[in-house]
Structure 1
Amino acid sequence: MSCPFNQDSLDKLKAFIDVCKTKPEILHLEDLQFFRDYLELLGAKIPPPPDMYSSTSETKPTPVEPEPEEEAESEESEVELDMEGCVEPDVLDPNHIMGDSSKEPTEEDTDKADEKRCEAMSAFGDGNYEKAVELLSEAIVYNPTSSVLFVKRGQSYLKLNKPNACIKDCTHALELNPDSAAGYKFRGRAYRLIAQWENAAKDLRQACKIDFDEQADDWLKEVTPNAQKIVQHKLKQERKKTEKEIKEKAERVRKAKEAYAKAAAADAEHNIHSGPQTEAPTNMGDYYKLLQDPEIMEAFKDPEIAAAIQDLSMDPSNYMKYQSNPKVMGFLMKLSQKKFPGGFPGFPGMGGFPSGMGGFPGAGPFGGAPPGSAPRPSEDDGLD
């Protein structure tokens, strides 16, 4: 059985239903009174007309509630760290001696640098760390290419609670010798003193990897808990950021779809109010007159009849399943006997059912065309 509607009529019906879904207030237009009455007869629940709807078809903008601001949480409140043993970072001395990096020390320079280094180690052993720094600085002037001299001075700065000076010397030592386990060890300890837990763990881990040292391993165990907490916190923050970005993207897509739907509804409403008038107004008036017919209105009170008509209005091809139902077929026959210009009226712009309700193919036991309609051509076309 073929559908009694052409594709153009079906497209118009679908467009009309889409508008009703996105903008149900359109049902309260005066021109659609007939359709609203029909839906109410079928027991449909019509949403009340919004207060902002007016005859000018303008709507007041819906106030947008500001999104609640996320509470800023401090680092300390989110991550509980053990800060025992940390010190205030020192300010680097602008006269911090680094030597002439372009100098190529002679054998005599190397001997003098070794002599100064031995004196510095003696002062270091006596606990005179300031003297050790002074002597090592003299040694660096003689031989600025020795990573050991920078590591030793960095260690002396560490004893003086000058972690930034230590970090500077050890970093330079690692530039001269990337495999200096002592350079990573003391720089890692200096990072620990200024609470740079991740850097501390990274350096101390590398020191133990190059040349295992029990003191470096003990220092690594000390900083690991704080370092792990920070890593977990950063992963959590990154996850929150990703979730927020996904949520914001979904919200943008939703708003875009909503704006598109509103624009489509506005276009449809504009077409209803100011579009060219075709046969739709006549059909709507005919349909409204039909619903005022006492006999038809009485029949619509029957739930079975109402359900069948609603079913057929959504898909006329369902007609076949009612051919064995005398009550429904009898009502359809009554509809076919109602004479309206252009046949039984349908939805706006659809042109109505062909030849009234009797135009449904296969009228079952009632058969044939409705009274007053032109006879159907015989299926026998006279050709052999």
Structure 2
Amino acid sequence: MNCPFNPSEVALLKTVIGCCELSPELLNLPELAFLKSFVEKLGGKVPAGQPDLSGFMGGKKENNSSSATTTEPEKEEPTEVESDPESELELDNEGCVEPDLEPNQPMGDASREPTEEEFDQANDLRSQAAVAYSEQKYDEAVKLFTDAIQLNPKSALYYAKRGQAYMKLQKPNACIRDCNRALEINPDSATAYKFRGRANRLLGHWEEAVKDLRQACKLDFDEEADEWLKEVTPNAKKIELHKQKQARRREEREFRERQERARKAQEANRKAAEEARTASASPGAGGVPFAREIPEEMLKWFDDPEVRDALMDMFSNPANISKYVNNPKIMSVLGKVLKNDPRGGAFPGFGAGGGFPGFGAGDTGSAGGGFPGFGAGDTAGSAGGGFPGFGAGGFPNFGGSDGGAGAGAGSGAGAGTGGGAGAGAGAGSGGARMDDLD
């Protein structure tokens, strides 16, 4: 039973399987999900994790028994060592405090609607808290604001002011929680933005501090808020520039990685193509019989499926040349193949002097060097070497290969270079050379 895949496809499959043997984690790539599923259906187990593609295909030496050469180990490109990003960023953290980790403060019942009496009581408590704050009794101020919030949880100002007292107690996280609730109630509370910005500054959250203080000044300009904004702007600017620099580095690194992946893919494709050509040239491979010996530039002709299939058809059965006589492209390529052969019309790799397998040589004094059993080869004294059913040494309707008489149709007689005679009775037509096929 013949293999349903051509040698190039088999070679590519060998390359993929070989890579997966070296790094089974490759099967976890989305592109190879189908292969992973196949392995698992057969009872195999694929290791978890993603493959390290940074050194993929690098430094490995392939040992292919079907190849006559071994691939030189690839040289690993030096990896660029980047310095620690944080070490490049020098900030002035003077005035920052340790974050407070106390439980959340009472926030009141947000769904509760206060009565008129509760409004008045809460307002009195707020006044008392303001007095305590002015006397720097910040703990007492927090307690009084908390009582006011319990009576009227709908006031954004109460939360913002309690947050201010928490800030004085070096509790920036508690301050931020109060300011967040205040902004939920009133998104345009400049006071809440101001104190949340200051609390972020105490925690060293420079970008958040700049954003909040800018918004506070935008909603209701305040000299103290503006002074705080000027204080945090230098550090925030450094962070912004640092992030831009890191983004550029990341883009450049990703670009280099894409280039490296493309290079390795091209190299893998090149190796696979070389293996496919080598496999095709091996006996019994079913490919081009003389692929090892024809010039490299001629191999590209076999990339054209029409040309490849036609040539293989003629190589397997010389009589099939008649099917392509009227196809200029096929005849032109075949003519170039014959002309590029150093023995003048014989196919290399078979017999002593060229020709098809099982048919003699094509040199002086030897048996025919063309197609089996037909007209002259290329040298005087040789037996027939033309195409089946035609004259010596030439294509139907064309002359001798290097200046001999024309090869006629039917069983015509003709001469190649040197004068060997063919069998038959017809006379050739003209003197076209093989060069005319170009």
TM-score bin, normalised by smaller chain: 0.5 to 0.7
2:215 maps to 1:206 = yes
Cα deviation for residue 63 of structure 1 reads 6.5
- Counterpart secondary structure, 2:188: coil
- 1:276-287 equivalences under 5 Å are 279-282=347-350, 285=353
- 1:111-190 equivalences under 5 Å are 111-190=120-199
Cα deviation for residue 263 of structure 1 reads 1.3
What's the C-alpha RMSD, in Å, of the aligned pairs?
3.9
Which of 118-127 and 368-377 deviates more?
A: 368-377
Instruction: Measure, in 2, the Cα distance between the counterparts of 1:378 and 1:231.
Output: 83
Q: Deviations over 1:242-294 (max 9, x none)?
A: 2222222222222222212211111211222224656432489559x999xxx
Q: Which residue of 2 aligns with 1:372?
A: 419
Q: Which residue of 2 aligns with 1:221?
A: 230
Instruction: Measure, in 1, the Cα distance between the counterparts of 2:207 and 2:381.
Output: 88
Among residues 75, 89, 110, which one is paired with 1:101 in the alignment?
110
- Counterpart secondary structure, 1:280: coil
Instruction: Measure, in 2, the Cα distance between the counterparts of 1:57 and 1:144.
Output: 85
Pair 1:229–1:337, CA change in 2 (3 A): same
Identity of aligned residues (%): 48
Larger proportion of helix? 1
Cα deviation for residue 377 of structure 1 reads 2.3
- 1:33-48 equivalences under 5 Å are none
Pair 1:337–1:61, CA change in 2 (3 A): closer
- Tell me the amino acid that sits aligned with residue 79 of structure 1: L
Pair 1:285–1:250, CA change in 2 (3 A): farther
Q: Which residue of 1 aligns with 2:334?
A: none
Unaligned runs of 5+ in 1: 1-14, 16-49, 292-335, 344-350, 360-367, 380-384
Q: Which residue of 2 aligns with 1:73?
A: 84
Pair 1:51–1:225, CA change in 2 (3 A): closer
Q: Deviations over 1:163-220 (max 9, x none)?
A: 1111010111011000100100010000001000000000000001101111111111
Pair 1:250–1:272, CA change in 2 (3 A): same
Pair 1:338–1:258, CA change in 2 (3 A): farther
Q: Which residue of 1 aligns with 2:102?
A: 92
- Counterpart secondary structure, 2:282: helix
- Tell me the amino acid that sits aligned with residue 57 of structure 1: A
Query: Between Structure 1 and Structure 2, how many residues are aligned?
Result: 273
Instruction: Measure, in 1, the Cα distance between the counterparts of 2:403 and 2:232.
Output: 89
Cα deviation for residue 135 of structure 1 reads 0.7
| Paired residues of 1:90 and 1:164 also in contact (CA < 8 A) | yes
- Tell me the amino acid that sits aligned with residue 178 of structure 1: P
Instruction: Measure, in 1, the Cα distance between the counterparts of 2:255 and 2:381.
Output: 59
Among residues 217, 232, 239, which one is paired with 2:248 in the alignment?
239
Cα deviation for residue 83 of structure 1 reads 0.7
Pair 1:238–1:338, CA change in 2 (3 A): farther
Which of 233-242 and 148-157 deviates more?
A: 233-242
Among residues 275, 278, 303, which one is paired with 1:269 in the alignment?
278
Which of 155-164 and 235-244 deviates more?
A: 235-244
Pair 1:248–1:357, CA change in 2 (3 A): farther
| Paired residues of 1:158 and 1:190 also in contact (CA < 8 A) | yes
Q: Which residue of 2 aligns with 1:24?
A: none
- 1:286-305 equivalences under 5 Å are none
Q: Which residue of 2 aligns with 1:250?
A: 259
| Paired residues of 1:155 and 1:166 also in contact (CA < 8 A) | yes
Instruction: Measure, in 2, the Cα distance between the counterparts of 1:172 and 1:51.
Output: 66
| Paired residues of 2:399 and 2:430 also in contact (CA < 8 A) | no
Instruction: Measure, in 2, the Cα distance between the counterparts of 1:88 and 1:98.
Output: 23
- Counterpart secondary structure, 1:99: coil
Pair 1:267–1:101, CA change in 2 (3 A): same
User: Quick one: higher RCO (CA 8 Å, sep 6+), 1 or 2?
Assistant: 1
- Counterpart secondary structure, 1:281: coil
| Paired residues of 1:355 and 1:373 also in contact (CA < 8 A) | no
Unaligned runs of 5+ in 2: 1-7, 9-60, 290-314, 316-346, 356-360, 364-377, 387-393, 405-414, 422-426, 432-438
Instruction: Measure, in 1, the Cα distance between the counterparts of 2:182 and 2:175.
Output: 10
- Counterpart secondary structure, 2:84: coil
- Counterpart secondary structure, 1:184: helix
Instruction: Measure, in 2, the Cα distance between the counterparts of 1:247 and 1:284.
Output: 53
Pair 1:370–1:69, CA change in 2 (3 A): closer
Among residues 203, 210, 218, which one is paired with 1:194 in the alignment?
203
| Paired residues of 1:89 and 1:163 also in contact (CA < 8 A) | yes
Q: Please report the TM-score for the alignment, with normalisation by the length of structure 2.
A: 0.54
Which of 244-253 and 188-197 deviates more?
A: 244-253
